[in-house]
Structure 1
């Protein structure tokens, strides 16, 4: 290519940049595959309950705290990635994740386990999570949404890979050696991949030019003055709240409302996880081609359909259950690709790491509330059916917010002129 001739020295893993950049996507997917094991907590939960004599509520603490620290450290990392570089940030974060798993294998009580798994693992996941996506976005100025969506597939599909692996290791070696082995493996894998992560030089001539799409130019200090930011933040909160609420009750709804076998309910989660993973590149691709608000409205419409199906579901309607929860998981995965792509589209791409870190706080709010509210509604009303009514209301609210607020804020763009 002519562009490669103008910058022949730029290579990625020994390949010309325009070819080698595609290798960064599976490497980023692998890092996120390791990080996504945090969502497989249920595999460790039962054996740890038995070993440490924990109640069901106590055994949920490490997972809940991990989500909080994950969401807290994600925005912090965005402000340091350009100072230290993606390789250092990934290596440090991966080392912290591995350390958390290793120390968890020695935990003797719930407080220690909450600190090692909840605080340390959650902190490491938060530090590392955004880096593969930031690297992909910078190397793919022409296909940001697709690159980010493909990269984040690793996080969504992690339960399909790491959960069965962890279960097999637990059956063979018990839970503590499994945590130790995973900690060592994650440290080595993430640290090795970190060495390949770097940003392209400014004005790189070896990459395709960014398509001439109209964009605002919003810097981090102006982000909080932007109507677009609040629209995206509210929409992301609603999307993750509904998605994580549904994920948290998937098996329980199947057993209690539909009366399917517990083994079938657990197996169905693998189907849902597949939809969760496949939606990410699809939503990223759609976000490259359509305004973010249209993609968001499409997501909320699917959620509304799923809520309607489950609010009217009867015992034995297995197909209704499978379709509805596939849609819930599909839309959650979609938001995890739509939100970073919308951040790239609506704000200055050069400040992506900082901007998305701030936007990502919406995930933390949605995760914290979403993991608590659905179960609380079940306790109040005696059935999970009533959990789908507030989800439907939120989906309608999301459609309204997306239509009026999730669009480019030209007034903020003028601040840079």
Structure 2
């Protein structure tokens, strides 16, 4: 992590709680970066807006890209799968570079902005689909991964005492920022203007990401807001409830230490399943709706509503988890996500537009809510100092879920039709709720056990 230098030294001290965790207190947010820490909520949110269209609006451009480049539908879905693969693959190494100080937050954001632009330019001018895989799938995916990892972990560092709602709000930008582009790609872009539209979108998104990232700053390691005493019960009822339901990690786990705990890999697998369902819905809701006879405008509306609720759900669910606990919230979200897949299938087969729109929104809510929950839960379980790397390990499950949800999803649809694919997705979602029951923080140090100096018998003495 890159720490901020000071023009004049600012008094601070380090305190330890009963578990031995160290907190750095005394410096205010204004002392560190010259502005309130709320900026480190809205700027990361804007950065997430800038990368959202690549995942959530890309499949809306399927028809135009197919006609313009003569790419098959299979290539379109695999392009998205490759994008998700690289977006997730960069999370852990980016976290390692960020925490070592070799990759400042500003640099990560500028590289992400460049990757976003290259992705759209390659879609516009690719002479062969391989160029699109390299430009959009790899470069744009890596760029989005850098932005995502930087933004999500930045807000958790600045709000260690109440990270759920803030992390959810920032994470929400990754979804509803795509809404105008869904309509743009579906209703406006055609063979006559697709290159100009794609380049224009790339320039706009690149500018937003670069402008937001230019002002990023990390707090010092272990920083804690001076108005919240880490050793006492907070007076603020909101902060007190959040810390009671989601206690801070007893220590700052290194990636090696976190990797040795079974719960991290259980989180990895749970995110693999739920993220795969989310990506499956993003990739196949539009073609499923069209095959069921819904008009293109209705399908675009459904996808937009899904993106809006997906993004809104991320913020709302973070706020809820601060109040009822991360694990309990995750169980409910998995149940909702799994049930929604059956609803989307039934509504399409019934030809019920209102029911289809409703189930699409519910699916979007569940699919979006899982990401901020896992981001905040990772910090709750393993601490904030190495959260970029630790969450990078958990988030790396999206390497597989992207390919499974999009690319392999196309294979399942071809073999089992939409009925079998949605039933499988729904069943996996319900099974994920069962797995979430077993997600608990690594054992916190309890009372120290001291041997009885006066054993009652020879058996105890031996």
* 1:236 and 2:271 aligned: yes
C-alpha change, 1:77 and 1:394, in structure 2 (3 Å) is same
Say whether the 8 Å CA contact 2:52–2:175 is kept in structure 1: yes
- Give the CA deviation at 1:205: 5.1
Q: Equivalences for 1:15-54 in 2 at 5 Å?
A: 15=35, 20-39=36-55, 40-54=57-71
Structure with a larger share of its residues in helix: 1
C-alpha change, 1:388 and 1:8, in structure 2 (3 Å) is closer
Say whether the 8 Å CA contact 2:81–2:405 is kept in structure 1: no
Of the three residues 66, 73, 80, the one matched with 1:56 is 73
* 1:407 and 2:440 aligned: yes
Q: Equivalences for 1:5-404 in 2 at 5 Å?
A: 7=27, 10-11=30-31, 14-15=34-35, 20-39=36-55, 40-82=57-99, 83=101, 84-165=103-184, 170=189, 174-202=193-221, 203=223, 206=226, 208-209=228-229, 211=243, 213-217=247-251, 218-257=253-292, 259-310=293-344, 312-313=346-347, 314-381=349-416, 383-404=417-438
Q: State which structure, 1 or 2, has the greater radius of gyration over its C-alpha atoms.
A: 2
The CA distance in 2 between the partners of 1:407 and 1:375, in whole Å, is 35
The CA distance in 2 between the partners of 1:370 and 1:9, in whole Å, is 41
The CA distance in 2 between the partners of 1:401 and 1:412, in whole Å, is 25
Say whether the 8 Å CA contact 1:24–1:136 is kept in structure 2: yes
Say whether the 8 Å CA contact 2:337–2:426 is kept in structure 1: yes
C-alpha change, 1:320 and 1:189, in structure 2 (3 Å) is closer
Which secondary structure state, in structure 1, belongs to the residue aligned with residue 161 of structure 2? Answer: coil
The CA distance in 2 between the partners of 1:58 and 1:214, in whole Å, is 45
The CA distance in 2 between the partners of 1:316 and 1:345, in whole Å, is 44
Greater alpha carbon shift after TM alignment, 67-76 vs 95-104? 95-104
- Give the CA deviation at 1:141: 1.7
User: Which deviations, in whole Å up to 9, do the C-alpha atoms of 1:117-141 show, x marking residues without a partner?
Assistant: 1111111111221111111111112
C-alpha change, 1:214 and 1:398, in structure 2 (3 Å) is same
- Give the CA deviation at 1:271: 1.4
Greater alpha carbon shift after TM alignment, 127-136 vs 204-213? 204-213
TM value normalised by structure 2: 0.79
C-alpha change, 1:54 and 1:309, in structure 2 (3 Å) is closer
Alignment RMSD: 2.9
The CA distance in 2 between the partners of 1:373 and 1:96, in whole Å, is 25
Say whether the 8 Å CA contact 2:32–2:219 is kept in structure 1: no
Which secondary structure state, in structure 1, belongs to the residue aligned with residue 350 of structure 2? Answer: coil
Question: What is the number of equivalent residue pairs in this alignment?
Answer: 404
The CA distance in 2 between the partners of 1:14 and 1:348, in whole Å, is 26
User: Which deviations, in whole Å up to 9, do the C-alpha atoms of 1:356-406 show, x marking residues without a partner?
Assistant: 11110112222210113443333223x4222232223323321221112x1
Greater alpha carbon shift after TM alignment, 20-29 vs 96-105? 96-105
C-alpha change, 1:29 and 1:52, in structure 2 (3 Å) is same
Which secondary structure state, in structure 2, belongs to the residue aligned with residue 79 of structure 1? Answer: helix
